[in-house]
Each structure stands twice: as structure tokens, then as C-alpha cells.
């Protein structure tokens, strides 16, 4: 019933703001044509279409607001009026009552705002989809911002997620592409992501990790700044962090007025993304302009300021490996390798005809590469590859959904800063260096050093594990094979007796070998 009522609320919002005007009439099946025709019977809304869309997404709540935030970064896909208006969803969502905000803070910190802060601004500094921000000063003198979760937001998000599950289930059941798209699994991943965003203590931990990653070297410190967390004043519903001063990354005019090198800024955004994904395996997955500012103290060497680390992503080691090789292969136009990697990774079925798949990828990518490299969109390329692979049963990879969304954000932001951004010029050397480091002797030695304790623990039991496996594989499968199996079993028993006699020797020899490796790693 809750899902049904929420669905009615969505339909009412669509009609109220006449969002049916965004739906093209041609090529609609008759049920949708009928629904659009019925919506047209209601009074027209006098607001501009972009304003209507923003108000509708804002009324529908955080799940829809975040969708609008993603759309606002794709100025290469949206008309200017829609992109400009949806950009307001990044940090201009209507705030909730300040008295409620104060009450949440005092209840969470178990003290009044006067006790916690030397100064607290009741008027919000900014307001977003799931929280709002107040400025304050600690008694120790540090300028901080206080982030507060919106009241009742869990219930609203829960209703929307349940509705998305209902829609995803229907798509999976009744759509020909349902299994390939795996919508239920995608919604399930999104549910974990958005509910994690409601836990500000988790966000604080993400901030600390990201800050530590980019403070590891002077080169990384030149690219990204992350605010300090004040743990004594942070909990699940309240987060207090260092206040950072900078120019919103979407304010191109102010950046130009301060002579900021936008080419360097755009390229560093790409480099930050690939560093997070491949070197750190911990990437900011909500990099819309409302979450990013620019430190302009050095205009020729501008740095990004990240202020919201609620949604972070990571990939399996195999996903990073196949992703890097796929990107390199695509831009080298090695379509045979692209097809082979898709099959090896399991992204398409193992029985896929590699030659036919290669031909289809070539026909999809070659028209794109006819354009100048600076005009090639990574997002568009992903879409084309996905469409090409549909015929071969390629499934949506939920582990890559956040990555794909972040890549779209980065590309949209980079092209907004510097329209001639050559994404590949920055990404290509990075990926090649990453692949080279992956197979370097230093990394292999480091892996051996990390695995040495586990190998020492495993070595004494290794003979037993081998023979247990052999026993499992030699059970009789048919009457005709029983005699052969008995003979094999006799051989295994004989080998096992020999192994027990030599086990002490093997363990001793193996132990000395591993200790020799460890001593070489530590003392050379």
C-alpha cells in the first residue's frame, strides 16, 4: 500500500508540473500514448520547462534530486536551459526549519549549541538533498561547518527504494532485456549506497581515508584537499569538519576573473579520478559540482577541494585489471583484445563468438574515432559499447555502476571547465604506467612479503590438502569404472604412505626456503 501511495504521489507530481511534455509522442506503445493523452487534459503549468523539471525532482525527494544532479553535469547531452536549472539542485535545495536543525544537533551531541560551539549560525550555509550545512566556530578557535541529516529522510528514501524495487522486478520479469540489465541487483546496490549516505559517521571515516590517501605525497597534495574531521563533535546524524574556502567549480566566470588555469584544473580532475580508482581503489562517487570547490591561491596550479565523501566506491582487483586493459585496448583500436577481455572477465558469456563480437565492437567504435580525440566522449563510448554487446548477452555489472556514473560526472565537469579537454591524453599514460607497475618486480616482491606468513601457516598441511582433493576426485562414478577407481585408490594410498614418511623433510625444506625469501626481502 505504501508503494502504491508513493506511486500515486509521483504520478500527481508528473501531472502537476506537466512533465508529460518531455516525453516524445512518436514510437510510443498505445498504453503510454493513452497516459500522455490523459495527462494533457489537465491545466498547463505556466513555468518554464526547466523550472518545472527542477521543482518536480525537488518535490519527489532525494532519490530524484540525485538523478537531477547527475543530469546537470552532462551539458553535452542536455539543452543549456535544463543544465543550468538542474545545477541548482546541487546546493540550493530548500532548507528545513533551523529550529529543527538545532534540536537534532543538541540531541546528537548531548549538549546545547552554545556549549558545543563558540559561534553557531542558525541560517543554513547550504542545503542539499539529504542534509544541510551550518557554519560555526569551535571554542578552540577553528572555523568549521556542521552537517545535519534532514529529519524523516530515512522514511522517504525507504519508500522510494521500495518503489524502485517494484519497478525493477517488473522490468526483470516482463522485459526482454530484464535479465541482462539486472535491475533488481542494481537497485539493491543503490539502496546500500544511499543509506550509507545517511550515516555521517561513515562519511567522516571516508573523509579521513581520502585525506590520508592524498597526503601521501607532495604531488598528490597539489591536486586535492580534503577537510579535517572533528571526531569529538561527529556522530551518525551530525558531522563537524574544517571549513574550507574556495570558489565553486561551476562558477566559471569567477575562476576566469582570478586567472585560474582551467586546462590544468580539468586535467587534474581526470588524474584525480584515475588515481583514486586504480592506485587507491577508493574513489569519490558523488563528484557533482555542488561537492567540489577550487583553491585559487595559486591560479597557475589550482587545487580541488572535496567537501562531501558520503558516497565512495571501490572495485575488485580483477575489475580494475580488466577495466584498465579494456580502456587501453579500445583507444588503441585493438577490438580483438576488447572482445577477448569481455569474455575472459565474464562480462559476456564464455561461449560468445569472439570474431563476431569483435566485428560488432569495431562497427560501433570506428565512427566515434573518426572525430578529433578531444571531442570523443567516454560516456558516449561506454553507451555504444554497451549497445553493441547487447546482442551477445552482456549484463550490467553492478560493481561498475558507481564507476560509470562517476566517470560521466568527471567528463561533464572537465568539459565544462575546458571544452577542448582531451580526456585520453591524461588517462592513457596513467593507465600504461599502472599496468607496468602491476607487473613490476617491486610489486611482486611486496606481494610475496605480504603472503609469506600465510604460506608458512599453510605449508605443513599442504600434503594433506593435496591428497584430500585427490580422494574427492577419485570416487566411483559408474560400475564400469569401479575397478579403475580401486586401482587409482591403491596408488593414492601408496603415495600417501610415502608422503607421510617424507613429510618432515618436506616441511623443513619448505620452511627454510620461505625464510630465505623473507630474509632476502627484508635485508636487501
What's residue 516's pLDDT? Answer: 42
- Which residues touch 32 (CB under 8 Å, ≥6 apart)? 23
The verdict on whether 468 is a catalytic residue reads no
What's residue 263's pLDDT? Answer: 93
What's residue 153's pLDDT? Answer: 85
What's residue 42's pLDDT? Answer: 75
Nearest to 194, CA basis, from 205, 202, 184: 202
Q: Are strands 283-284 and 292-295 parallel, antiparallel or unpaired?
A: unpaired
Place of cell 541529516: 149
In which order are the strands placed within the sheet that holds 224-225?
A: 224-225, 303-306, 292-295, 247-248
Q: What is the pTM assigned to this prediction?
A: 0.72
DSSP at 280: I
What's residue 512's pLDDT? Answer: 42
What's residue 482's pLDDT? Answer: 59
What's residue 495's pLDDT? Answer: 55
Active-site residue (options: 84, 91, 199, 286): 286
Measured distance between the N- and C-terminal CA atoms of the chain, rounded to whole angstroms: 69
Instruction: Calculate Rg over the CA atoms of the chain.
Output: 28
Nearest to 88, CA basis, from 48, 122, 45, 50: 50
What's residue 17's pLDDT? Answer: 87
- Residues lower than pLDDT 50 in the chain: 477, 480, 504-524
Nearest to 198, CA basis, from 241, 235, 242, 145: 235
What's residue 117's pLDDT? Answer: 97
How far apart are alpha carbons 524 and 519 in whole angstroms? 8
**Signed CA dihedral, 409, 415, 417, 422: sign only:** positive
What's residue 224's pLDDT? Answer: 95
Sorted by where each begins, the domain ranges of the chain are: 2-90, 153-195, 261-439, 451-523
Nearest to 307, CA basis, from 225, 405, 409: 225
How far apart are alpha carbons 15 and 42 in whole angstroms? 7
Amino acid at each position: 500500500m505504501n508503494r502504491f501511495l508513493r506511486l500515486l504521489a509521483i504520478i500527481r507530481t508528473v501531472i502537476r508540473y506537466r512533465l508529460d511534455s518531455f516525453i516524445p509522442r512518436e514510437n510510443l506503445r498505445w498504453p503510454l500514448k493513452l497516459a500522455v493523452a490523459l495527462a494533457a487534459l489537465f491545466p498547463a503549468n505556466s513555468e518554464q520547462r526547466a523550472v518545472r523539471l527542477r521543482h518536480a525532482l525537488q518535490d519527489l525527494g532525494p532519490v530524484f534530486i540525485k538523478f537531477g544532479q547527475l543530469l546537470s553535469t552532462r551539458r553535452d547531452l542536455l539543452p543549456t536551459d535544463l543544465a543550468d536549472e538542474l545545477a541548482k539542485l546541487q546546493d540550493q535545495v530548500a532548507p528545513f526549519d533551523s529550529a529543527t536543525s538545532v534540536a537534532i544537533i543538541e540531541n546528537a551531541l548531548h549538549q546545547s549549541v552554545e556549549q558545543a560551539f563558540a559561534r553557531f549560525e542558525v541560517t543554513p550555509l547550504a542545503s542539499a538533498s539529504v542534509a544541510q550545512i551550518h557554519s560555526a566556530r569551535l571554542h578552540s578557535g577553528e572555523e568549521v561547518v556542521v552537517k545535519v541529516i534532514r529529519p524523516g529522510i530515512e522514511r522517504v528514501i525507504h519508500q522510494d527504494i521500495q518503489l524502485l524495487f517494484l519497478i525493477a522486478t517488473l522490468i526483470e520479469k516482463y522485459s526482454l532485456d530484464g535479465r541482462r540489465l539486472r535491475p533488481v541487483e542494481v537497485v539493491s546496490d543503490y539502496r546500500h549506497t544511499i543509506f550509507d549516505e545517511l550515516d555521517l559517521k561513515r562519511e567522516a571515516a571516508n573523509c579521513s581515508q581520502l585525506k590520508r590517501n592524498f597526503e601521501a605525497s607532495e604531488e598528490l597534495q597539489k591536486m586535492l584537499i580534503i577537510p579535517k574531521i572533528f571526531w569529538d563533535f561527529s556522530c551518525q546524524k551530525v558531522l563537524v569538519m574544517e571549513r574550507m574556502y574556495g570558489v565553486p567549480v561551476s562558477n566559471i566566470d569567477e575562476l576566469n576573473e582570478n586567472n585560474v588555469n582551467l586546462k590544468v584544473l580539468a586535467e587534474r580532475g581526470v588524474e584525480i579520478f584515475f588515481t583514486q580508482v586504480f592506485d587507491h581503489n577508493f574513489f569519490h562517487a558523488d563528484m557533482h559540482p555542488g561537492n567540489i570547490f577550487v583553491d585559487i591561491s595559486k591560479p597557475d596550479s589550482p587545487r580541488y577541494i572535496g567537501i562531501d565523501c558520503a558516497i565512495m566506491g571501490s572495485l575488485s582487483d580483477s575489475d580494475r585489471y580488466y577495466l584498465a586493459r579494456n580502456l587501453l585496448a579500445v583507444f588503441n583500436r585493438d577490438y580483438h583484445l576488447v572482445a577477448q577481455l569481455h569474455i575472459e572477465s565474464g562480462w559476456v558469456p564464455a561461449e560468445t563468438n569472439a570474431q563476431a563480437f569483435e566485428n560488432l565492437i569495431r562497427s560501433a567504435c570506428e565512427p566515434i574515432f573518426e572525430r578529433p580525440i578531444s571531442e570523443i566522449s567516454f560516456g558516449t563510448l561506454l553507451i555504444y559499447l554497451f549497445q553493441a554487446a547487447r546482442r551477445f548477452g552482456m549484463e550490467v555489472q553492478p560493481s561498475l555502476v558507481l564507476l560509470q556514473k562517476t566517470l560521466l560526472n568527471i567528463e561533464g565537469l572537465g568539459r565544462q571547465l575546458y571544452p577542448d579537454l582531451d580526456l585520453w591524453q591524461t588517462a592513457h599514460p596513467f593507465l600504461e604506467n599502472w599496468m607496468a607497475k602491476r607487473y613490476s618486480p617491486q610489486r611482486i616482491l611486496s606481494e610475496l612479503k605480504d603472503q609469506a606468513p600465510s604460506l608458512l601457516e599453510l605449508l605443513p598441511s599442504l600434503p594433506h590438502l593435496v591428497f584430500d582433493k585427490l580422494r574427492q576426485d577419485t570416487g566411483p562414478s559408474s560400475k564400469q569404472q569401479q575397478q579403475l577407481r580401486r586401482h587409482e585408490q591403491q596408488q593414492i594410498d601408496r603415495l600417501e604412505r610415502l608422503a607421510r614418511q617424507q613429510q618432515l623433510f618436506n616441511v623443513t625444506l619448505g620452511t627454510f626456503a620461505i625464510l630465505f625469501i623473507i630474509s632476502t626481502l627484508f635485508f636487501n
